[in-house]
A and B are shown apart, each in its own frame.
Chain A
Amino acid sequence: MLSYIIRRLIIIIPMALLVVTVTWILIRMAPGSFYSSEKKLPPAVEANIKKKYGLDKPVLQQYGILMGNIIRGDFGDSLKYEGQSVNEIIRRHFPYSATIGILAYLLALAIGLTAGIVAALKQNSAFDYGSMSLAMLGLSVPNFVLGPILVLIFSLWLFWLPPARWGGASSLILPVITLAAIYAAYIARLTRAGMLEVMRSDYIRTARAKGLSEWKVLLKHAVRGGLIPVVSFTGPALAALLAGAVVVEKVFAIPGLGNIFIQSIFNRDEPLTLGIVAFLSILIMVFNLLVDVSYAFLDPRIRYE
């Protein structure tokens, strides 16, 4: 188990570098650059800018320098936000994304698991149909429609909650609900399907046959197995949530990482884009590793060599 974890951890670094490389090639493939604007720069000025940022060197040499710096953990300075290093920007904006991301995931888990388990136990009941239709609705309403409609109702008509900006717990409620909706819907569907599958399996029949109470069968055996699809979904979902939900950040004016990332792509802020891509890809791979490890705890049949 331990050697498996170590092997997986070691492979994360080259994989992240590979992702950064592909991203860099993509950025360089797109026409234009961070200094291009409506007006054409005089050739001498352009040459100076290129020299300052090392863009006059051969492409392969530029790539070598870039990779050398990245391996040392130095992503350089942002091209747009003068004098701020990429690491600084990520450190400053990530906590906002992490706060709403984690809260939203916890809320989604609470709602999704409850609804999914109850729906599976009472298959084909009114609750089953009702909650699954609601889940489908959650998957179908885009969050940039849901967010503003919630603002309209709770902030502009009822004056219960602040419409936007960061400050105090009450300002977190609407963004977290908006963000959680789609994940809650997904988790509810996954849980229901997983539980239905497990309830039919042989080991549940065995557990019942040996005379365990229905509650014990459910909590000790069924939930553990039925949760595996939810756990596989958790890795990528949590990474996506932490990476920042661009739409929610935009609608509620939250200074999270998602918007910074999108802006960096628009601004051709190459170091910032590469830094965030590296950060996110490491985050995703670490979460996927955690997910794979937790399978072994949930399902005794899974072993890692």
Chain B
Amino acid sequence: MEQQQEVVKGASLWRDAWKRLLKNKLAVFGLAVMIIMVVAVTVGPAIIRWTTGYTYDFIPPDGDLIKSFPPSLQHPMGTDDSGRDILARVLQGGRISLMVGVISTLVSLVVGVSYGATAGYLGGKIDNFMMRVVDIIYAIPYILLVIVLLSAFGGQNAPGWIQSISGALGSGQGLSQIILLFFALGLVSWLTMARVVRGQILSLKNQEFVMAARATGVSTPAIIFRHLVPNALGPVIVYATLTIPSVMLSEAFLSFLGIGVQAPFASWGSLAADGIKNISVFPWQLIFPGVTMALTLFSLNFLGDGLRDALDPQTRKF
């Protein structure tokens, strides 16, 4: 008798979702690849440096005419035009690519959630105005926004706090450009998030718990951020997971155009962009960064899909 009472344990939304996620083989595959990828880019560069001495910007001193060697035991992914080890560069570049994905998504999360929740909760004319602003920004090519942000605040014009972050991390302008890129990409990808959150808030705001909060005199900001936003978290997490790969693709696209990550730093996008120039002679320069990036996006997309099915079983899967 006593044992039976213990068995009944409330299954929370999150535990339920976790169980559903683990049942989805593709999502588990995605999760596993992502864990491996994060570990590899975190400790990988140090291991390579310790075992072989190669770093992402180490240029061998010997004067060979051709420096780009195909994959070998010594260089599993070959070397690039300057003789740098591509594996070391891919691992180092992965740090920046993954950081772009995560930090830009966080920026878009903060902006999109606050904006969408405010518009949805206040409603009426304010909501209408705020959503028309979103429509107009939607109509402007995002590449234009990014270029304007990057050129307006790039280089010498970087805001003080960005310069102090990159200074604290012990590097000059290259890094502050990358930090700027994080924010620029985040600031152009919050629009859909704002719409998603607004929709959620609209369906939540007339429920009893909100009325109770209002009746007991809770302030508007507190209602929005303490009561409404936590209840809309499921779709937000799902959408954020799917924002990460799309932001990473945007970064790669910008690097391909030559306005993203600048040398000596590298990202998967900029490595692939460099590789394209030599595609006919040194195909490995494109293939390895390209495939690594594709594998990562592939896993992230599966993980995002799995999370959507797990957290939000009612929404359509597409």
A262 lies within 8 A of chain B by Cβ = yes
Interface residues on A, range: 35 or more
B residues near A255, Cβ cutoff 8 Å: none
A235 lies within 8 A of chain B by Cβ = no
Interface residues of B in 231-290 (CB under 8 A from A): 245, 249, 252-253, 256-257, 269, 272-273, 275-276, 279-280, 283, 286-287, 290
Chain B 187-222, CB within 8 Å of chain A: the 1/0 string? 000000000000000000000000000000000000
B residues near A142, Cβ cutoff 8 Å: 249, 252-253, 269, 272, 290, 293-294, 297
Interchain CB contact under 8 A, B317 and A277: no
Interchain CB contact under 8 A, A145 and B257: no
Interchain CB contact under 8 A, A277 and B140: yes
> Which B residues are within 8 Å of any A CB, using their own CB?
26, 136-137, 139-141, 143-145, 147-148, 151-152, 157, 245, 249, 252-253, 256-257, 269, 272-273, 275-276, 279-280, 283, 286-287, 290-291, 293-295, 297-298, 301-302, 305, 316-318
Interface residues of A in 210-243 (CB under 8 A from B): 229
Interchain CB contact under 8 A, B279 and A148: yes
Interchain CB contact under 8 A, A190 and B279: no
Question: How many Å lie between the Cα of A284 and that of B147 in the bound state?
Answer: 22
Say whether, besides A30-B151, A197-B316, A247 and B157 are in contact (CB < 8 Å): no
Interchain CB contact under 8 A, B144 and A144: no
Give me 20 other A-B pairs in contact (C-beta within 8 A), A152-B283, A194-B318 excluded. A19-B139, A22-B136, A26-B144, A30-B147, A136-B301, A136-B302, A137-B294, A144-B272, A145-B272, A149-B286, A149-B290, A152-B280, A156-B279, A189-B318, A193-B316, A246-B257, A261-B141, A265-B143, A266-B147, A280-B141
Main secondary structure of the interface of B (DSSP, over half): helix
> Which A residues are within 8 Å of any B CB, using their own CB?
15, 18-19, 22-23, 26-27, 29-32, 133, 136-137, 139-142, 144-145, 148-149, 151-152, 156, 189-190, 192-194, 196-197, 229, 246-247, 250-251, 261-262, 265-266, 273, 277, 280-281, 284-285
B residues near A151, Cβ cutoff 8 Å: 279
A-B pairs with beta carbons under 8 A, tally: 112
Interchain CB contact under 8 A, A26 and B280: no
B residues near A27, Cβ cutoff 8 Å: 148
A residues near B302, Cβ cutoff 8 Å: 136
B residues near A192, Cβ cutoff 8 Å: 318
Task: Write the chain A residue with the least CB distance to B273.
Answer: A144
Ordered by A's residue number, 29 sampled pairs between the chains whose C-beta atoms are within 8 Å are A15-B136, A22-B136, A23-B140, A26-B140, A26-B145, A27-B148, A30-B148, A32-B151, A136-B298, A137-B298, A140-B245, A140-B294, A140-B298, A142-B272, A144-B252, A145-B291, A149-B287, A149-B290, A152-B280, A156-B279, A193-B318, A194-B316, A229-B316, A251-B276, A262-B143, A265-B143, A277-B141, A281-B139, A284-B139
A residues near B317, Cβ cutoff 8 Å: 193, 196
Q: Most chain-B CB neighbours within 10 Å: which of A27, A29, A133, A139?
A: A139
